[in-house]
């Protein structure tokens, strides 16, 4: 290797070190995005959705300023096959206003459906709404795990 080759190699090494340093600094200074605040669920509400087809309140509206309901999960069971839908609304049993939110869950007879985690993952009921649910065909038991803030 001649003297010119060594000079080029030193120059390339220098450029690589500088590039890695600048990239590392950029990662440290770049604002974090997409990292949601961890919200731990510390409350639960249970109800029997009966008779089938009736919309019932599962979680009452927080009623505190601009508090929201953060749903972490739910457990649903039924003696028969039933489809459970969630609604956000106001008034008794979401009777004044109501809009479908969250997933639609099909529960098979005798098998519980569980979607539960200790932290909030994106199922939000905005203030001033309460969380309601409806079971079609067969009555269903439902427990919702949530946090209000």
pLDDT tens-digit profile of 4-29? 888 878 888 887 888 776 666 555 66
pLDDT of residue 144: 92
User: What is the mean predicted confidence (pLDDT) over 43-50?
Assistant: 90
Say whether both 115 and 137 belong to one domain: yes
Tokens describing residue 34: 């997409």
Percentage of the residues of the chain whose pLDDT score is greater than 90: 30
From the centroid of its chain, how far is CA 35?
A: 13
Say whether both 12 and 73 belong to one domain: no
Say whether both 23 and 62 belong to one domain: no
| Cα–Cα distance, 123 to 77 (Å, whole number) | 20
| Cα–Cα distance, 32 to 132 (Å, whole number) | 35
Structural domain range at position 13: 1-35
Residue 32 has pLDDT above 80, yes or no: no
Say whether both 71 and 126 belong to one domain: yes
| Cα–Cα distance, 42 to 37 (Å, whole number) | 15
| Cα–Cα distance, 145 to 81 (Å, whole number) | 23
pLDDT of residue 28: 61
pLDDT of residue 87: 93
Say whether both 53 and 12 belong to one domain: no
List pLDDT tens digits, range 48-89: 998 888 888 999 888 766 789 999 999 999 988 899 999 999
What total of structural domains would you count in the chain? 2
Among 34-38, 74-78, 108-112, top mean pLDDT goes to: 74-78
């Amino acid at each position: 290797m001649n003297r010119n080759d060594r000079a080029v190699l030193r120059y390339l090494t220098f450029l690589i070190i500088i590039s890695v340093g600048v990239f590392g600094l950029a990662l440290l200074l770049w604002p974090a995005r997409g990292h949601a605040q961890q919200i731990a669920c510390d409350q639960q509400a249970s109800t029997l959705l009966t008779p089938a087809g009736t919309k019932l309140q599962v979680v009452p509206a927080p009623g505190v300023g601009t508090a929201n309901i953060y749903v972490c999960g739910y457990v649903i069971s039924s003696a028969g096959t039933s489809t459970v839908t969630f609604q956000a609304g106001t008034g008794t049993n979401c009777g004044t206003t109501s809009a479908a939110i969250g997933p639609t869950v099909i529960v098979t007879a005798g098998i519980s459906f569980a979607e539960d985690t200790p932290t909030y993952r994106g199922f939000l009921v905005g203030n001033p709404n309460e969380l309601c649910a409806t079971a079609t065909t067969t009555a269903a038991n439902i427990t919702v795990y949530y946090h209000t803030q």
